[in-house]
Amino acid sequence: MEQDNKILKATINRNAVIGLIFSLISVYFSLAIITGPLAIFFSVKAIKQIKKTSEKGEKLAFIGLILGIIFFIFGLITIISWWC
């Protein structure tokens, strides 16, 4: 039983990884309008889940959240500058 608990505590939250991946994809500013909000959504969801459970990945989720916000803003600026 103790080994099962250790295995559960050592898992990384999937939403944290998904949020980080979407934030890295949003580096391409043309995709940031779509992937930025997805990165923000999954990262916030992961942070909430991590607080309830003892999973790991809080740093990944935080990095995904910050990068998602930054690249989403840059993507918006890029789109607006194309229209002007």
Taking the C-alpha atoms of residue 39 and residue 26, their distance in angstroms, rounded to an integer, is 8
Q: Are 46 and 11 in contact (CB under 8 A)?
A: no
Q: Using a cut of 0.85, tell me whether the model's pTM lies above it.
A: no
Burial 28-51 (b: 16+ CB within 10 A, else e): ebeebeebbbbbbbbbbbbbebbe
AA letter at 80: I
pLDDT at position 54 is 84
Query: What pLDDT digit, counting tens, does each position of 4-25 carry?
Result: 555 555 689 999 999 999 999 9
